Amino acid sequence: MHRVFRNKTAIFLFVFPGMLLFALTFLAPIVLSGYYSLTDTLGPGTKVTMVGLDNYTNLLFHDSKFWLALRNAVLLGIGFIVIQHPICIFFAVLLDRIGGKAEKVFRTIFFIPCVISVVVISKMWLSLLDPTFGLVNKVLDVLGLDMLKHAWLGESSTALGSMLFILIWAGFGWGLLFYYAGVKGIPEDLYEAAQLDGASGLKLHWRITVPLLSPVITVQVTLAMITALKQMETVFLTTNGGPGDSTQFLAVYLYNKAFSASQYGYANAISILFIVVCLIATYLSNRLTRSDATEY
């Protein structure tokens, strides 16, 4: 066996199919995209004229929508990290402490939004937030808080906030599951030892749980940034970037440029910058949250 693994030809044979698949499904499209991003084509098959870096200069220096879309994505990422994740950790610890039957029941309940199809979630929130027939406004009515009523997803002032809320809500279950698994992996004797040393309550979790969750947090922060940047389906199905451009996100903008405006070359330029932004975000979040792995 060892001989086989030391044989260079064997290694090559084993690795090659995977590499080939990677090259065909990841690298080739990116290279092709890079090529199209230098043209002003309306789509594959139409006339291709090279325009050099025009698409990129337009994007970076003359396209406020691109920056708006990027800003919204970053806001969403921050929303995930600052709002969603602390709540997830809190509930993960709660779940772990509750124990017994209740633990299983709540675990299931919290994960339900992740099992529902994105289309259903989008349509559900559209009706919940409907200005005339939606539950949210009806409840406000009943509570006598009429002045707080809004066409939530239909007004420029509230659309982005509502959208972030929906996305944070929808992603809650996944975050919870990751942190819950992390919490479950922390050995009980550490807590016992800490309790003997006099730590309790919040302090116990702040000193023991959170530090020991750091590998999970690192992964989660990276994933959150990428999820935020890649956000597409819910926005597309609810507001399609509107009203105006208030909920414009990169992927939706890219899609509309390619398929509604037939600016295929331009859309490819967006997608290349999109990749660059994702790589930078991953690198940064890895750098910022890097910590030594904890062994126990």
State the residues that interact with another protein by CB under 8 A: 25, 42-47, 126, 130-132, 151, 153-156, 177-178, 180-181, 184-185, 187-189, 230, 238-240, 242-246, 255-264
Q: To the nearest whole angstrom, how small is the minimum distance from the Cβ of residue 156 to another protein?
A: 5
| Comparison of 263 and 285: residue with beta carbon closer to another protein | 263
Q: To the nearest whole angstrom, how small is the minimum distance from the Cβ of residue 234 to another protein?
A: 13
| Comparison of 74 and 149: residue with beta carbon closer to another protein | 149
**Contact (Cβ atoms closer than 8 angstroms) between residue 225 and residue 77:** yes
The 10 Å Cβ neighbour count of residue 6 is 9
Q: To the nearest whole angstrom, how small is the minimum distance from the Cβ of residue 15 to another protein?
A: 19
| Comparison of 78 and 149: residue with beta carbon closer to another protein | 149
**Contact (Cβ atoms closer than 8 angstroms) between residue 290 and residue 226:** no
Nearest to 124 by CA among 62, 183, 169: 169
Nearest to 84 by CA among 165, 160, 168, 210: 168
Question: Which residues face 39 on adjacent strands?
Answer: 50
**Contact (Cβ atoms closer than 8 angstroms) between residue 70 and residue 277:** yes
Sole residue written with tokens 């299983």: 104
Q: Give residue 4's identity as a one-letter amino acid code.
A: V
| Comparison of 39 and 239: residue with beta carbon closer to another protein | 239
| Comparison of 1 and 45: residue with beta carbon closer to another protein | 45
Around 93, how many Cα atoms within 13 Å sit in the side-chain half-sphere?
16
Q: To the nearest whole angstrom, how small is the minimum distance from the Cβ of residue 11 to another protein?
A: 24
Q: To the nearest whole angstrom, how small is the minimum distance from the Cβ of residue 221 to another protein?
A: 15
